[in-house]
Structure 1
Amino acid sequence: MTFGERLRQLMAERGISQRRLAKLVPCNDGYLSKLARNLQVPSAEMAAQLDEALDAGGQLAALRTPPAVGRRVTVHGKYADEVAVTASGIGHHGPVAPELVGYFRQQLPGHYRADMWLGPHMLIPTVNAQTRLIQQLLRTADTPVRRGLLEMGVAYAALLGWLHQDAADLDQSEHWRTAALDMAHRHGDPELVGYALANKAMHAVDLRDGAAVIDYAHAALADEGRLSPKVRVLALVYLAHGYGYSGDRDAVDRVLDRAESLVDRVDDAHPWGNACRRTPRYMDIQRATAYGRAGAHADAVRLWDEILVDQPADYRRDTGVFRARQAAALAAAPDPEPEKVVEIAEGAADACTQTGSERLRGELAALPTHASAWAHSPHGRELVEIIASVT
């Protein structure tokens, strides 16, 4: 475990926000944010002060020097641990046991759950190693086993693409989304191809490329009659976000109404792509987000107020993202509420520090642009300070 990871854990365990901890030590908010993200090494004195403020019994001081193993250092576009494994020549030899497909299938739901708690940075090395192992096993597996591994390869590569997207590494995200699509085509199942294309649409959402989102979503739905309700829901949701970027509110509603009619028919036959079943009020969340993108801020605010009443406490990262979107809609609404925006942004900033989610950081960084009408007010200046503490 790194210094930053333990610092975030201790803050969460003690219920201390980043801003409050910065005042206790005392130190600069932005500096503390860098420590929590392992972007800077604290001095011995600072580590001791944080230990004392968090009653950590010397744990942070012991972690002050970043460990050499497991860090996300890149070498020519690859993780250093990947380069080391490749160079070592270690690989699988001999027949591939069919039971390995079941092993990867059983592991997948646990990765989704861990993502909710740990965020992307701690999970990427594990999922990356398993995805590369699947790719390696594909070379020697016989046809029946290879088909099972290809399905798992699509699921793991898509998850890895998502984790990199959440970590704001869009180049790696694109690489793994493309790998997922390639394995889906190798398998030949329209269901897997549709799922992989929907994941490409998800990647285009973060690029804010509305045209690409629409194109990938339409491609995913090209063989809609052969797709499960789950894949159709995912593709329709991203299609709605594409229309949101183009400002077409009517199309957003039309497409999301289609998706909403399918949600109750989604089953868990596949262990992948279950956000539409796992996330409370999934369709309302997608509609509120698409409304914000389409500029329908007042309607987005109304929905976010309803959604965020009962979000689970253990959905820290996702709830933080939703609150940042709620704050953006409030800030840009015809009748903005600056005081409420600041309050929401502060809570979302704490979630950002605890989870290390770059996606949440990006949502927060965009907030001041929505608050331009009152940027020079006291609340506007306080908002800028909050955002600066995590960016």
Structure 2
Amino acid sequence: MGRNDALRAARLRVGWRTVEQAATRITEHGQRLLDDRHFTVSARTWRRWEGERPGWPPEETAIVIHDALGRWPEDLGFTTPPGWIRPEHQEEQVKRRTFVSVTAAALVPGPVASQYVDPALIDYFQQQLEGHYRADMFLGPHDLIGTVSAQYQLIDKLVRSAKGETRRGLLRVGAAYAALVGWLYQDAGDMHGAAFWRGVTHEIAVRSREPHLVGYALVNQAQVRTDLGDGHAVADLCEAVLEDSHLLVPKVRIMAMQQQAHGASLTGDRNTVDRLIDQADGLLSRVDDDLPWGNACRRTPGYLEVQRATCYGRLGLGQEAVALWDQILTLIPETARRDRGVYLARHATAAAHAGAPDQALEIAQAAIGIAAETGSARMRRELLTLQQAMQPWQDAPVGRDLRDALAPVTEES
């Protein structure tokens, strides 16, 4: 009575006949598991554990006990402290907290108090949106996610009170805000958050009854699939957009075609890449809408050649991609820091594929500095791709120099 029979039974079950033997075995097990020769459990400590006040072991010791006996301390008669989370559940807890923070702005419970919504607010939010797009060119995603998602939350609140065309106008601008939040999460490397917000974008676009926005939302979802390497899903989504191309402004059709080209590059289809990029290029001169979203094709110099060069790089066409990047980077202003950093990293990877490691290292130096400044996970991902492309020279001086240069940014990913 009053003793910890659960631990004693577990000890005997694994053949540790005495407390002294148990202390020796658990010490040996812990030193192997943790690769730490200083890890020890004394016979006196084990005897206390089997007593009436076993207390609670340190977290490392709890992990060793679980690995040796197949059960966590709370199942072995120990006194569980407040707030203890089994290590196997800690990642789930982190994911849950992250998901709650991602969804907080989009899933506000209602109803909310009714209020008058002035139609002029639509124009206000559209002007703010353009400012966010400009800021996105200069800042990393972490600095904008909170601001943009909070404004989406306000739009969602106003939509619940707005009527008629005012409500539809707010839904249209709300879809554009949700798309931007999704992009920011994608750039930050949080694909779960990105996929969630792309889904919100699609829902709001459908509610707005705006075909252009529905197409835009599907292209945004295809963009996530591109980052996930799922070329067939990219093609499915973009083909769904283009089935109703006669209903869409040229800008949306261009977006769908260039994204479908990315899908084709993932499946190794160069001919389809060139065909789609060429078709999209034929539509560029017809882009004349005043929609506030999806204007990269107007804002980004050499927009379609950027897509072609990226696809060529993915296809392993090093020399052709290098030639394109050489031309493109002369057009990109220094102020577009983050885009320039991504392009430089892709340029460097293309140089590596073309068998020019010294050129790749030289180009990469500038991209590494921008990646460190902006915190863009997308850029770090591009630099990791470069590191893989440089594997043939990993033991050469150029390979070691690149590895040293990359260390500050790749260690964060």
TM-score (norm 2): 0.73
The residue number in structure 2 matching 1:131 is: 152
Deviations 1:266-298 (A, max 9, x none): 124100000000001111111100111122222
Structure 1's consecutive aligned runs of 4 or more residues displaced over 4 angstroms after TM superposition are 80-83, 89-92
| CA distance, structure 1, for counterparts of residue 178 and residue 279 of structure 2 | 28
| CA distance, structure 1, for counterparts of residue 245 and residue 370 of structure 2 | 38
Task: Give the match's secondary structure for 2:282.
Answer: helix
Q: Compare 199-208 and 90-99 and name the one that shifted more.
A: 90-99
Which residues of 2 match residues 24-35 of structure 1 at below 5 A?
none
Is contact 2:254–2:284 with CA below 8 Å preserved after alignment?
yes
Matched, 1:261 2:282: yes
The residue number in structure 2 matching 1:16 is: none
Which amino acid in 2 is paired with 1:290?
A: C
Give the Å deviation of 1:144: 1.5
Which amino acid in 2 is paired with 1:279?
A: T
**Structure 2, unpaired ranges of 5+:** 1-94
Q: Which of 383, 386, 391 matches 2:405? A: 386
Matched, 1:312 2:350: no
The residue number in structure 2 matching 1:39 is: none
Give the Å deviation of 1:75: 3.1
The residue number in structure 2 matching 1:198 is: 219
Matched, 1:111 2:100: no
Which residues of 2 match residues 168-317 of structure 1 at below 5 A?
168-317=189-338
| CA distance, structure 1, for counterparts of residue 344 and residue 191 of structure 2 | 23
| CA distance, structure 1, for counterparts of residue 260 and residue 201 of structure 2 | 20
Deviations 1:203-235 (A, max 9, x none): 111111111111111111120011101000000
Deviations 1:111-147 (A, max 9, x none): 0000011121101101000111112222221121110
| CA distance, structure 1, for counterparts of residue 160 and residue 256 of structure 2 | 31
Give the Å deviation of 1:81: 11
Q: Which of 354, 369, 389 matches 2:388? A: 369
Task: Give the match's secondary structure for 1:164.
Answer: helix
Q: Which of 337, 350, 368 matches 1:349? A: 368
Q: Count how many residue pairs are aligned between Structure 1 and Structure 2.
A: 316
Is contact 2:114–2:160 with CA below 8 Å preserved after alignment?
no
| CA distance, structure 1, for counterparts of residue 98 and residue 291 of structure 2 | 35
Identify if the C-alpha distance between structure 1 residues 361 and 80 changes in structure 2 by more than 3 Å, giving closer, same or farther.
Answer: closer
The residue number in structure 2 matching 1:24 is: none
Is contact 2:348–2:363 with CA below 8 Å preserved after alignment?
yes
The residue number in structure 1 matching 2:166 is: 145
Identify if the C-alpha distance between structure 1 residues 372 and 156 changes in structure 2 by more than 3 Å, giving closer, same or farther.
Answer: same
Task: Give the match's secondary structure for 1:140.
Answer: coil
Is contact 1:92–1:136 with CA below 8 Å preserved after alignment?
no
Identity of aligned residues (%): 49
Which residues of 2 match residues 71-90 of structure 1 at below 5 A?
75=97, 77-79=99-101, 82=104
The residue number in structure 2 matching 1:69 is: none
| CA distance, structure 2, for counterparts of residue 273 and residue 216 of structure 1 | 17
Give the Å deviation of 1:332: 1.2
Deviations 1:29-56 (A, max 9, x none): xxxxxxxxxxxxxxxxxxxxxxxxxxxx
Which amino acid in 2 is paired with 1:77?
A: F
Give the Å deviation of 1:80: 9.2
Matched, 1:122 2:140: no
